[in-house]
Chains A and B, each alone.
Chain A
């Protein structure tokens, strides 16, 4: 292949990679989140995974599933990251992480269904509750500081958060069950 041909082939490969990554990045993030404790950790491992996946992209068979292929890379990257961070972070033990990763690889469809159900459940939530849980998950905001600011206790705020999480999870279970029974 001439130089021009190689360049065209390289660009086509790059376009395919970008397309695959764009389509699967949210699912990949969800998978990594099931292994690591914070958003920063997830960002880091997603970035590493994307770089490794790009380097190894020639090995990827377009007839197979990119998400599953990339998730296997992500699993190793998460384990490597865990070893680096294990000294000072609350991360899962290696055996736990291995099991979580192995089982998580089989659950992409379930996770997607839960995501769609959550959107519906959040919409149905009373405005005040929805805004509370959104606030609790706003980056950089400390529940303890907010509680202190409003003259309450962090425990009260965490308890409320726990109840709302449970409420959302119950709603998701119902929605997913309804969807499955309709199939």
Chain B
């Protein structure tokens, strides 16, 4: 990178790290417009970045500082421009982009913060000045910034001055605008909301990656992912706009709608399906965290190409294997736990999360004396946490329940276990400890034992009438 300035070099590095400030990003783009050489260099670095991602990949075994000798990092070199506090850069960058959008909105006098009323598990707050807090307590007021619920077992409940309440649950990120009426951006994850009646023409606005919700007073639950937003309205009405085509629909109590990026169909709210007891997971359809693969799928395109190139298989055989992979992929496979950093100095956990609403429109109610049946694989003995999230039958976040098991490595056979409801403990300290009769919305498992390479191949909630010996399945 000898043909451009040290400043431009800093910009490129911080862009690649994801830590560039909005101002620097704008300056970088200005220079890129002027300089073909800088654009060319940028493409070369982006190619390097891409290739390193492909080479780096996802092996959790590699992801411990001790293994790679990172406990003695080289000393920091001084640079002409100094070193930014990178964490602050990253957050400030995200916040400033949204803030610029929100600045265009009309401000009003209803500025208010949100107060934490309950919290469990690792949750992190970064305010608009870039200060990060990860030891949040009930009673703390949050007035503008980024709220991150970091792990499946995490949740946080916020109360507004008008008695509106929001619960952010699981792996989820919510941005709260400062000095505005309730204007929120759910970047990903689950949010359950009880919104008090809002002043006319001053609806609460919730943005997600694929939809915009206008709320005048209602109870609803929303699950936002990059490609789709699932909204369930339990009481009242919500106006939902699908960003992909600008179409909108009103969603009434007892109805739900999915606003997806790639859905050519008309946007339409439908009544929630009839509740059912018991559930067998469609792992491929319901995964929200974890890597789905099939036995055949392990031969990814790149590997197939290498086999063809080395002459081990012909091009025709390679194509046939790929087609077979596509056919089988939807039927058989396994979910490998994916790394999730807690950002609290405790390293990463390997996690699988399933969202039941992705697989079916019907709510799944937990019957009395139900049991979870789980099958999977471990490459080494490990302590594995299993948990699930419940909602009240009429909607609204109810609680999270979890239990741990020490599992042995069982070779190719893998492990099979059944866990009764009584084994699960509630994360609520006070009330809401009832499980039966509640709706189950998501299920997860997690381990900090990275060498175990946890994989799930079967997940089922058995109603008593359907409980059969494992051997009979």
Binding site for B on A (CB under 8 A): 14-15, 18-19, 21-23, 25-26, 29-30, 33-34, 37-40, 42, 44, 48, 51, 84-85, 87-90, 92-93, 95-96, 99-100, 103-104, 107, 111, 114-115, 118, 122, 128, 131-163, 165-166, 168-169, 172
Contacts and interface: CB of A to CB of B under 8 A. Distances in A.
Contact of B305 (A22, A93, A100, A151): A22
Nearest to A112: B47
9 closest A-B pairs (Cβ-Cβ)? Answer: A137-B56, A140-B339, A33-B50, A142-B341, A131-B68, A148-B345, A155-B83, A150-B65, A137-B52
Interface residues of B, number: 91
Interface string B243-263: 110000000000000000110
B68 A135 contact: yes
Given A128-B69, A161-B17, 19 more contacts: A21-B301, A23-B305, A25-B301, A84-B209, A88-B207, A100-B32, A114-B47, A134-B55, A135-B56, A140-B58, A142-B341, A142-B348, A145-B341, A146-B347, A150-B71, A150-B72, A150-B73, A155-B85, A158-B17
Interface in B194-227: 207, 209-210, 226-227
A30 B47 contact: yes
A137 B56 CA distance: 5
B70 A141 contact: no
Contacts of A151: 71
B68 A141 contact: no
A153 B51 contact: no
A38 B93 CA distance: 15
Contacts, number: 231
16 contacts: A22-B318, A34-B47, A111-B47, A115-B47, A131-B68, A131-B69, A132-B69, A133-B52, A134-B56, A135-B56, A137-B57, A144-B86, A149-B345, A158-B19, A165-B48, A166-B1
Contacts of B54: 26
Contacts of B86: 143-144, 154-155, 158
Contacts of A22: 301, 304-305, 318-319, 322
Interface string B44-82: 111111111111111110110101111111111100000
B87 interface: yes
A158 B319 CA distance: 42
Contacts of B16: 165
A39 B25 CA distance: 19
Contact of A162 (B13, B44, B70, B207): B13
B343 interface: yes
A136 B25 CA distance: 22
B470 interface: no
Considering residues B18, B86, B185, which has the most beta carbons from chain A within 10 angstroms of its beta carbon? B86
Contacts of B342: 145
A135 B69 contact: no
Contacts of A37: 15, 18
A168 B16 CA distance: 15
